[in-house]
Amino acid sequence: MHRRVLREFRRARPSLVEDDATSRGTRQYQQSKTGIALAQKCPRVSVILPTLNVEGTIEQCLTSLLEQTYPAHLVEVIVVDGGSIDKTTNLAARFPVTFVKLPGNAPKAMNYGSRLATGTIVLFADGDAYYARDWIEEHVSNLADPRVVASGGPCFMWKKGGYLSQLIGYELESRYSRLPRTVTRLATMNLAVRKELLEEVGGFAETLDVAYDTEFGYRLAEHGLRITVTNLAVAYHANRATLSGYLRQQYRYARFSPVIFGLHPRAIRGDSVTSFWMNIQPVALVAMLVTSGIGFLSPALWSLSAALAFFLGITIAGETVPILLSSRSFVALLAPLPLLARIFAWAFGGFAFIAIFAKRRLRTGT
């Protein structure tokens, strides 16, 4: 029913009409009575926005969320700040949103915001992204099908920053532009879920600083549920602008990946967002470096090292070609560089996890 109502609401939305004062350059909006009646049938929605030091993007983010085509009186935006030390809180306070300070990580903020939500549909957004004007409308339309319990959409590039930010954006766009109709998991920067489902599965894992969206998706899969993709609900995300920032981000992902694999072993096989080949690239890199080093003692291992290097080259090329085809930009010819940086960061992150795990086991004596 919601899909039909939204379609009729789009036709009955306020139209811009000129009155007698047009000659003086003024105009007024006239709301159709049909539009009011249809808006009353649409579900109330809550947008949860966790923030942390996003002063450069928060204003455009909130503006995009508050200027949606969906009936404004049926939308609430809840900003949960994790302890920003820049101007984020001051800037957010200028907008008509519910603002909460809650020190902690993003999943803690999202769970808290979900508990405050009064909508039957909860949408999750990021403070370093902005959203298409019909973003909410498209997610609600997707969820109009009673078989759809969660709705996800693509994340395109917010053109901020230099060449590195563009390259990261091209790589993400190449993956998100090839998503099937249903997926196991998607980033929470563009996700809508029925509130009753959130309560039933227990929300997001607050023990995870990153990869909580991956864990949530695989937990849904264990209940026999998947996220249904709508390519019309578009988010535009600002990517890391510096190499050090990008490496830190990917390093943190890798540190928590073994936790995800332990909780959900099937995640090792990869999914529509992160393939199996991406998961084993850091393992191949480490094996290549080890065999090439030992090769000085046993030259026969150099052939194995060369084979692993060839494998890495093939997998990187396999990622680069779709990036070139989707971006159609000469800048994308440099895509292998951030891809290789990501592989090194994942390898070091994996080592860090093993070291921390071993230290804890030695400390506990188990």
**What tokens were used for 327?**
């971006």
Long-range contacts of 91-97 (CB under 8 A, 24+ apart): 91/55, 91/58, 91/59, 92/51, 92/58, 92/62, 95/62, 95/63, 95/66, 96/66, 97/49, 97/62, 97/66
The residue to which tokens 């390898």 are assigned:
347
Q: Which residues of the chain carry a pLDDT beneath 50?
A: 5-6, 8-10, 12-39
Which is nearest to 150 in space by CA: 201, 110, 105, 111? Answer: 201
pLDDT at 251: 96
Under 8 Å CB-to-CB from 9, ≥6 apart: which residues?
35, 38, 39, 42, 71
What is the pTM (predicted TM-score) of this model? 0.85
Question: 314-358 pLDDT, tens per residue?
Answer: 999 999 999 999 998 899 999 999 999 999 999 999 989 888 877
Which is nearest to 294 in space by CA: 284, 281, 283, 304? Answer: 304
Q: Phi/psi of residue 324, each to 5°? A: -65, -40
Cβ atoms < 10 Å from Cβ of 172:
19
pLDDT at 271: 94
pLDDT at 34: 35
Taking CA atoms, 279 is separated from 94, 158, 183, 184, in Å, by 43, 26, 17, 16
